[in-house]
């Protein structure tokens, strides 16, 4: 049931399932423990631990309470199983506890489940919701609360108590105001009505009242009763009418005007009328219609006759006609007005015997469980009643010193509120003189919601201002609320809404931070605990604390009782302007062996007498008191003597050695004071400081007397000023004597490890204050007697840079700058170079001087037409009489658009240069040209050789073919002119008949007037004066072929038979002011084709044959003569040759 739901919201369903059958076990989370903390405002060791004498539920709720300058810890301990819960009053120092007298008189298992205080009025309330009482076969649940004021004076109330009424009843008092009764008698009637309404206030009966005499007058309707349930206020303005007694007319008036939906009559309620009169009706003739109409509407009519005017038969008959049947059960005649007060019990029983028409399972206040939550204030006390209206929930307003209850019947107006548990949590919000109440309904539509109510302090009417919905199913959004006054102006600034069952990213639970703006709530951030605890139930308890860190804003404590395997933890969050810091400043976790630390929290009072706010934390069976630590402001200052490092200390001839005498002295001072000025403890603490020179530099420039750059020491200081001197030394030669020596000091407080239990907690440094300070010791500058370095910078563009920008793929541009300083040393010299956006800076080259360049960012690079390059020149000092050449290399972006010229501007600046600025700027303009790769070449199909036989009439076809194309496809295609020169007569005998030039793809080519330059060139190559020149316009084509074709012939016998070389020439022309060839070293714009022409003369064969025959005969005669002369034809020689041959044959035949 509901109590089990509360435990599930904090502990988890699985852990508590076994305990749910035991009503007393539903609530409890507890945990004790100590503390791994991120050094902050709460001391790590407890001031005291209060034990609950074995009760595991002791500590379920805790409250700090002060009376007569004595502070107590009030502890709620709901009973185990069927045992009675208890409220304990405990001493914060010695831990002794006693049960508050009178709280155990009525068995209340859940007593201590609710514990809330009103610090302004020094009172608190302790409640036990879920008190059962039987109504026939049904069990009703109400609450039992004890309200304690100064001296622990106790008042007992039973919020939400429901009498045993079975159905809804709409009851109208129709009371006599005739002139026959006295004023006192009339007052006794109004007192009777007030008593009835008081006694039946927490029932399903609603009331209206009509006074009648000669006319009827409505005193209040059902609607007004719902708004103002105080019967005294409802009847305070009743005036005695004093006229005749028109009872039947009044009955008809009530039927037509009171039992209507517009006046609040409920269609599912029984209609009851109590008619109070002192005599016989004067309008009996009208009775038939009025009674019949009443019977038709089912109105039960009870008659109370007062006085001695009902003895006659006519009077009795009049009463019988007015009453319901049977008259004997519905008429009561009293002989005295004084006896009117004695009939209440009889009237009550008659009302309770009426069967209502509503569904038997539809409860209003029968299961109210009043007191499940509470919000006390000097103006108004409000309790949560989560069980009202089928567990939709609602609120109970307590007025007139807790004697009058007014149920805020909001939840019944919406069907989606069923089982929403409105009133599970409750907080008062004060905003701009308004009273607002935030009520949690954690089970609303399974996501939970918080409803914001506004209370009109004049009319006491409640209205809904806003609903704040949860976001995750089952998160129990709204199960815990906390209103926070951040700045102490008595107005709520922030509402904290817990969702302890929220799960996300290994986090268990979250708390929403919601701000108030124009009496509306806006949630803008969330708080969460440490990652890695998905079942922590962060937000199960929330408490406002006093200002712990001294920043003037209220701080917050949030419990996570199931964190770290149910050991629990408490998180401290600091308030800030407009909200709460989303990062916790301290996490306090529980010791092993103890559970549910952080299940309840309270921290508004000083418990140990040091005037610092302490925190009370509830745990399973124990309560832990943690003390705040005093906060210190420690400011640090440094002074140097002399105030700068003198020139003679660091200028040298090159020999590096350590100084024997200190160069400068540092005086380090600490000024301490308490942030928490009310603290009464003694101020004496160990302060550790760390003084460092030139931190984060690789090379050592200065040291302390110990030869190191760092000194760490601890001082015992107290309130006020404490100073310590330190001397520094530096080598006689250092490289960097421009950058000041950086000095840093860091401070921390040394923890007192020997502190005993009960001793004052050690102070901490103000987390809002710096713990590290920085200062600098500058070097004396070499700037003459005035101490101001006046540089004279000059910058020019050097002529050795590129003279033009060539736009092509992978193109670069090299620009050079001359930079000089003709004055004193220049500090922080900067060069700014403005260049077109079509260039991309690559690098800078410079000899000796250190230069560091970076492109400055542009806000919109897509629209920028130029960029800026910033260069630090020889930082930190650009020496006097220095000249340097800077070479900048840029990449040319091919996809950029360019004009005809490229413009650059540069400027140079430094500190303290005022009078010589005219030469600090320079500009440059160079032409922009596009690189093209158009090439002309001859084709292989051209005629390379031709011959002619002299004497024959021959005609030969000669063809020359050229190709003009782009070496790289898809590159820039300029408009070019192709000129072709063709020789047509070479000698007086050889002709080449060419009429035109054809192009493929087709282009218009036309014959032009001869140009001497072309003719002279062709004449030199072809030894002719007759040349034809053709021109063709080429554009937007990657390749074009040109063909020159014609017949060649010899007109007559040539005078010379020497071979001829016939050449044609192709020129490519383009706009050289805009374009440039991509291959400037080669003339690819000129091509030529040569054809060799040979002339052949036919041979005379008769002369050749005759000459050959004569020559052969003469040769034969010569050979014969020679043979004869040598004896070739002599016989002896022949025989001798034969003999020699025979002798050789014989020799070969020997064995």
pLDDT tens column, 960-986: 999 998 877 666 777 888 999 898 887
The distance of Cα 496 from the centroid of its chain, to the nearest Å, equals 20
Nearest to 991 by CA among 1038, 944, 953, 1037: 953
CB-count exposure of residue 402 (10 Å: 0-12, 13-18, 19+)? middle
What are 253's two structure tokens?
């008036």
What is the pLDDT, as a whole number, of residue 1018? 62
Residue 733's pLDDT is 65
Judged against a pLDDT cut of 80, whether residue 48 lies above it is answered with yes
Query: What 3-state DSSP class applies to 579?
Result: strand
pLDDT of res. 519: 73
Q: Is the pLDDT of residue 187 over 60?
A: yes
Radius of gyration of the chain from its Cα atoms, rounded to whole angstroms: 58
Q: How far apart are CA 1042 and CA 997, in angstroms?
A: 7
| pLDDT confidence band for 445 (50 / 70 / 90) | very high
**Above 90 in pLDDT, residue 477?**
yes
Lowest-confidence pick of 29-38, 223-232, 242-251, 380-389 = 29-38
Range from 14-18, 244-248, 990-994, 1100-1104 carrying the lowest mean pLDDT:
14-18
Query: Could you tell me if 395 and 454 are in contact, meaning their C-beta atoms sit under 8 angstroms apart?
Result: no
List the single range of 486-490, 656-660, 919-923, 932-936 with lowest mean pLDDT.
656-660
Which pairs count as long-range contacts for 658-661, CB under 8 Å and 24+ apart, including other chains? 658/703, 658/729, 658/731, 658/732, 659/729, 659/730, 659/731, 659/732, 661/729
Q: Which residues lie closer than 8 Å to 47 by C-beta, 6 or more apart?
A: 92, 93, 607, 608, 614, 625, 626, 627, 758
Sequence-distant (6+) residues with CB within 8 A of 1082 are none
**More reliable by pLDDT, 1104 or 1044:** 1044
Q: What is the pLDDT of residue 658?
A: 52
Least confident of 68-72, 292-296, 1086-1090, 1102-1106: 1102-1106
Over residues 323-338, the mean pLDDT reads: 85
- Alpha-carbon distance of 499 to 481, in angstroms, equals 10
Average pLDDT over residues 12-25: 33
Helices 183-199 and 344-352 sit at what angle, rounded to 10 degrees? 40
pLDDT grade, residue 1112 (50/70/90)?
A: confident
Residue 540's closest CA among 592, 604, 613, 618?
618
Mean local confidence (pLDDT), 1020-1037: 78
At 785, is the pLDDT very low, low, confident or very high (cuts 50, 70, 90)? confident
Mean pLDDT across 877-892? 90
pLDDT for the residue numbered 20: 34
Return the H-helix or E-strand segment holding 395: strand 394-399
CA distance 757 to 1123: 156
Q: Which of 103-117, 687-701, 728-742, 1058-1072 has the lowest mean pLDDT?
A: 728-742
658 compared with 415, residue with greater pLDDT: 415
CA pair distance 1046, 1031, nearest whole angstrom: 18
> What b/e string do you get for 241-251 counting C-beta neighbours within 10 Å, with b at 16 or more?
beebbbbbbbb
**Least confident window among 284-293, 538-547, 915-924, 1055-1064:** 284-293
Among residues of the chain, what percentage have pLDDT more than 90? 39
What dihedral angle (degrees, nearest 10) is formed by the CA atoms of 472, 474, 480, 482?
0
Confidence check: pLDDT of 807 > 70: yes
The mean per-residue pLDDT over the stretch 306-319 comes to 85
pLDDT of residue 25: 32
**pLDDT higher than threshold 90 for residue 41:** no
pLDDT band, very low/low/confident/very high, at 64 (cuts 50, 70, 90): very high
Cβ proximity of 666 and 774 under 8 Å: no
Burial zone of 909 (CB within 10 Å; 0-12 exposed, 13-18 middle, 19+ buried) = middle
On the question of pLDDT at 1054 being above 50, the answer is yes
8 A C-beta contact, residue 731 and residue 658: yes
Share of the chain above pLDDT 70, in %: 86
401: pLDDT confidence band, cut at 50, 70 and 90? confident
In this predicted structure, what is the pLDDT of residue 1027?
A: 84
Q: Give the tokens for residue 1093.
A: 């022409």
Q: Give the span between the Cα atoms of 398 and 8, in whole angstroms.
A: 30
pLDDT of residue 740: 86
The pLDDT of residue 150 is above 60: yes
Taking alpha carbons only, the member of 108, 101, 102 closest to residue 158 is 108
Q: What is the pTM of this model?
A: 0.57
Q: Which residue has the higher pLDDT, 501 or 319?
A: 501
Neighbours of 17 (CB within 10 A): 12
pLDDT band at 786 (very low <50, low <70, confident <90, very high): confident
Residue of 407, 13, 427, 2 whose CA lies nearest to 227:
407
- How many Å apart are CA 692 and CA 713, to the nearest integer? 12
Average of per-residue pLDDT across 599-612: 89
pLDDT at 395: 93
- Nearest of 936, 865, 866, 878 to residue 1087 by alpha carbon: 936
Can you tell me the distance from the alpha carbon of 85 to that of 61, in angstroms, rounded to the nearest whole number? 12
CA–CA distance, 683 with 679 (Å, rounded to integer): 10
Q: What torsion do the CA atoms of 1106, 1112, 1118, 1123 make, to the nearest 10 degrees?
A: -150
Pick the range with the lowest mean pLDDT from 260-274, 459-473, 548-562, 754-768: 754-768
DSSP state of 96: -
Report the pLDDT averaged over residues 764-792. 83
Looking at beta carbons, which pairs linking 520-525 to residues 24 or more positions away fall under 8 Å? 520/452, 520/465, 520/466, 521/438, 521/450, 521/452, 521/466, 521/468, 521/495, 523/468, 523/497, 524/579, 525/579, 525/580, 525/582
Helices 247-257 and 313-322 cross at an angle (nearest 10°) of 10
pLDDT band at 356 (very low <50, low <70, confident <90, very high): very low
Flag whether pLDDT at 15 surpasses 50. no
Stretch 337-346: mean pLDDT: 75
Highest mean pLDDT among 142-151, 307-316, 1029-1038: 142-151
738 contacts 876 by C-beta, under 8 angstroms: yes
CB atoms within 10 A of CB 1144: 9
Q: Note the pLDDT tens digit of each residue in 701-721.
A: 888 988 889 999 999 888 889
State the average pLDDT over residues 103-110: 77
Q: Could you identify the residue written with the tokens 């390379």?
A: 944
- The secondary structure of the chain in percent helix, strand, coil, rounded to multiples of 5, reads 15, 40, 40
Residue 1091 near residue 944 (C-beta atoms within 8 A):
yes
488 in the Ramachandran plot: left (φ > 0), alpha (ψ -120 to 50) or beta? left
324-332 own/partner pairs: CB under 8 Å, 24+ apart = 324/299, 324/300, 330/300, 330/301, 330/302, 330/303, 331/302, 331/303, 331/305, 332/302, 332/303, 332/304, 332/305
Task: Give the number of residues written for the chain.
Answer: 1151
**For the chain, what is the mean pLDDT?**
83
Q: Which whole number is the average pLDDT over 373-393?
A: 90
Measuring CA to CA, how many Å separate 218 from each of 213, 224, 282, 533? Answer: 12, 11, 20, 63
Least confident of 77-91, 807-821, 889-903, 1124-1138: 1124-1138
Pairing of strands 205-212, 169-176: parallel
Give residue 915's Cα distance to chain centre. 52
Q: Where are the beta strands (DSSP E) in 518-630?
A: 520-527, 541-545, 555-560, 569-573, 575-576, 579-580, 586-589, 600-605, 614-619, 622-626
pLDDT at 949 over 60: yes
What separation in angstroms does the CA of 895 have from each of 168, 815, 838, 970, 971?
Answer: 86, 21, 8, 13, 12
In this prediction, residue 32 has a pLDDT band, given cuts at 50, 70 and 90, of very low
Q: Which residue has the higher pLDDT, 775 or 328?
A: 775
More confident residue, 875 or 1144: 875
Tell me the mean pLDDT in the region 610-616.
89
Distance, in Å, from the CA atom of 366 to the CA atom of 204, rounded to the nearest integer, reads: 9
pLDDT at 850 > cutoff 80: yes
Is residue 279 a contact partner of residue 235, using CB atoms and an 8 Å limit?
Answer: no
Distance of CA 1107 to the CA centre of its chain: 118
SS3 851: strand
Predicted confidence at residue 175, as pLDDT, reads 95
* Residue 1130 parent element (H or E): none
The whole-number pLDDT of residue 759 equals 66
**76-80, 731-735, 797-801: lowest mean pLDDT where?**
731-735
Whether residue 233 is predicted with pLDDT greater than 50 in this model: the reply is: yes
Burial class (CB in 10 A: 0-12, 13-18, 19+), 378: exposed
Looking from the CA of 131 toward its CB, the CA atoms found within 13 Å total: 22
Residue given tokens 């956006």 in the structure block: 837
Q: Please name which of 420, 376, 418, 378 lies closest in space to residue 396, comparing C-alpha atoms.
A: 376
Domains within the chain, CATH numbers bracketed: 2-161+364-626 (2.130.10.130), 169-352 (3.40.50.410), 633-753+760-777 (2.60.40.1460), 793-929 (2.60.40.1510), 934-1096 (2.60.40.1530), 1103-1146 (no CATH)
CB within 8 Å of 231: residues ≥ 6 apart = 193, 194, 197, 198, 207
Q: Are 140 and 162 a contacting pair, CB within 8 Å?
A: yes
Which helix or strand (DSSP H or E) is residue 320 part of?
helix 313-322
- In angstroms, the CA 500 to CA 522 distance is 20
pLDDT value of residue 1135: 59
Nearest to 479 by CA among 422, 520, 429: 422
- How far separated are the first and last CA of the chain, in Å rounded? 151
State the pLDDT at residue 285.
Answer: 64
């Amino acid at each position: 049931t509901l109590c089990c739901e509360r435990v599930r919201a904090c502990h988890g369903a699985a852990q508590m399932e076994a305990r749910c059958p035991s009503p007393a076990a539903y609530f409890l989370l507890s945990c004790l423990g100590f503390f791994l903390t991120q050094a902050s405002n709460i001391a790590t060791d407890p001031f005291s631990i209060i034990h609950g004498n074995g009760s595991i539920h002791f500590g379920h709720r805790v409250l700090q309470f002060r009376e007569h300058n004595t502070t107590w810890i009030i502890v709620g301990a709901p009973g185990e199983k069927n045992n009675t819960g208890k409220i304990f009053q405990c001493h914060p120092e010695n831990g002794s506890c006693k049960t508050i007298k009178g709280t155990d008189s009525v068995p209340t298992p859940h007593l201590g489940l609710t514990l809330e205080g009103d610090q302004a009025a020094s009172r608190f309330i302790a409640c036990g919701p879920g008190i059962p009482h039987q109504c026939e076969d049904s069990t009703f649940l109400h609450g039992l609360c004890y309200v304690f004021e100064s001296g622990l004076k106790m008042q007992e109330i039973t919020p939400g108590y429901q009498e045993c009424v079975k159905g809804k009843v709409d009851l109208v008092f129709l009371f006599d105001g005739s002139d026959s009764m006295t004023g006192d008698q009339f007052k006794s009637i109004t007192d009777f009505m007030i008593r009835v309404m008081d006694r039946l206030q927490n029932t399903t009966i609603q009331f209206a009242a009509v006074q009648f005499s000669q006319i009827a007058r409505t005193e209040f309707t059902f609607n007004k009763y719902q708004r103002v349930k105080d019967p005294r206020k409802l009847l305070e303005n009743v005036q005695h009418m004093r006229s005749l007694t028109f009872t039947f007319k009044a009955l008809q008036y009530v039927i037509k005007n009171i039992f209507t939906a517009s006046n609040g009559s409920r269609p599912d309620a029984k209609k009851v009328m109590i008619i109070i009169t002192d005599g016989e009706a004067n309008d009996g003739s009208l009775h038939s219609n009025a009674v019949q109409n009443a019977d038709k509407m089912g109105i039960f009519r009870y008659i109370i006759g007062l006085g001695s005017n009902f003895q006659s038969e006519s009077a009795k008959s009049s009463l019988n006609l007015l009453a319901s049947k049977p008259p004997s059960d519905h008429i009561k005649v009293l002989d005295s007005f004084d006896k009117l007060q004695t009939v209440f019990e009889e009237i009550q029983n008659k009302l309770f015997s009426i069967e209502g028409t509503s569904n038997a399972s539809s409860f209003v206040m029968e299961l109210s469980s009043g007191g499940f939550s509470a919000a006390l204030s000097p103006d108004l006390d409000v309790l949560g009643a989560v069980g009202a209206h089928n567990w939709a929930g609602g609120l109970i307003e307590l007025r007139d010193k807790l004697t009058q209850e007014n149920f805020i019947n909001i939840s019944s107006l919406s069907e989606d509120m069923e089982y929403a548990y409105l009133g599970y949590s409750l907080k008062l919000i004060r905003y701009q003189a308004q009273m607002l109440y935030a009520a949690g309904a954690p089970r609303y539509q399974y996501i939970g919601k918080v409803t914001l109510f506004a209370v009109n302090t004049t009319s006491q009417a409640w209205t809904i201002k806003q609903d704040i919905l949860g976001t995750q199913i089952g998160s129990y959004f709204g199960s815990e609320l906390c209103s926070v006054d951040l700045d102490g102006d008595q107005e709520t600034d922030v509402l904290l809404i817990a969702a302890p069952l929220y799960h996300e990213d290994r986090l268990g639970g979250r708390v929403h931070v919601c701000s108030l703006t124009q009496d509306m709530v806006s949630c803008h951030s969330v708080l969460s605990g440490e990652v890695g605890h998905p079942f922590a139930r962060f937000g199960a308890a929330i408490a406002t604390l006093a200002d712990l860190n001294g920043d003037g804003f209220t701080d917050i404590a949030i419990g996570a009782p199931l964190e770290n395997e149910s050991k629990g933890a408490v998180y401290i969050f600091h308030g800030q302007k407009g909200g709460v810091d989303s990062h916790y400043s301290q996490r306090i976790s529980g010791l092993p062996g103890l559970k549910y630390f952080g299940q309840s929290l309270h921290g508004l009072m000083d418990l140990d007498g040091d005037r610092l706010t302490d925190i009370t934390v509830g745990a399973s069976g124990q309560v832990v008191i943690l003390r705040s630590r005093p906060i210190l402001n420690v400011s640090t200052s440094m002074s140097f003597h002399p105030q700068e490092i003198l020139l003679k200390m660091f200028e040298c001839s090159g020999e590096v050695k350590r100084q024997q005498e200190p160069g400068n002295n540092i005086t380090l001072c600490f000024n301490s004071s308490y942030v928490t000025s009310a603290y009464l403890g003694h101020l004496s603490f160990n302060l550790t400081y760390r003084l460092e020179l030139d931190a984060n530099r690789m090379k050592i420039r200065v040291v302390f007397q110990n030869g190191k750059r760092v000194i760490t020491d601890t001082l015992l200081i107290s309130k006020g000023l404490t100073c310590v001197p330190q001397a520094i030394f530096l080598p006689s030669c250092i490289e960097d004597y421009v950058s000041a020596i950086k000095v840093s000091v860091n401070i921390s407080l040394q923890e007192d490890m020997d502190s005993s239990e009960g001793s004052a907690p050690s102070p901490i440094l103000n987390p809002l204050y710096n713990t590290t300070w920085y200062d600098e010791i500058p070097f004396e500058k070499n700037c003459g007697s005035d101490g101001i370095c006046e540089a004279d910078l000059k910058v020019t563009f050097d002529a050795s840079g590129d003279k033009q920008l060539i736009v092509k793929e992978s193109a670069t541009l090299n620009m050079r700058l001359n930079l000089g300083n003709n004055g004193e040393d220049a500090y922080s010299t900067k060069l700014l170079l403005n260049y077109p956006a079509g260039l991309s800076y690559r690098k800078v080259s410079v000899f000796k001087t250190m230069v560091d360049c970076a492109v400055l960012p542009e806000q919109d690079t897509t629209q920028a037409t130029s960029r800026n390059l910033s260069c630090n020149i020889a930082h930190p000092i650009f020496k006097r009489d220095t000249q340097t050449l800077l070479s900048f290399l840029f990449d040319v972006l091919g996809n950029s658009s360019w004009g005809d010229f490229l413009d650059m501007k540069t400027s140079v600046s430094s500190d303290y240069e005022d009078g010589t600025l005219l030469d600090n700027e320079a500009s440059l303009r160079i032409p922009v040209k596009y690189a093209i790769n158009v090439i002309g070449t001859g084709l292989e199909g051209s005629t390379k050789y031709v011959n002619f036989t002299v004497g024959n009439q021959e005609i030969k076809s000669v063809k020359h073919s050229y190709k003009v194309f782009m070496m790289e496809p898809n590159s820039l295609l300029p408009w070019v002119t192709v000129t072709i020169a063709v020789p047509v007569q070479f000698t007086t005998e050889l002709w080449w008949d060419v009429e035109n030039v054809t192009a493929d793809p087709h282009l218009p080519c036309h014959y032009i007037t001869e140009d001497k330059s072309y003719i002279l060139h062709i004449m030199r190559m072809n030894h002719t004066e007759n040349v034809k020149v053709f021109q063709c316009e080429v554009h937007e084509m990657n390749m074009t072929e040109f063909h020159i074709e014609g017949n060649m012939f010899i007109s007559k016998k040539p005078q010379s038979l020497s071979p001829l070389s016939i050449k044609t020439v192709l020129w490519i022309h383009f706009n050289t002011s805009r374009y440039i060839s991509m291959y400037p070293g080669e003339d690819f714009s000129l091509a030529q084709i040569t054809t060799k022409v040979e002339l052949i003369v036919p041979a005379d064969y008769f002369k050749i044959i005759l000459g050959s025959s004569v020559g052969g005969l003469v040769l034969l005669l010569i050979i014969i003569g020679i043979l004869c002369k040598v004896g070739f034809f002599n016989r002896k020689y022949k025989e001798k040759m034969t003999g020699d041959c025979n002798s050789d044959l014989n020799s070969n035949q020997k064995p």
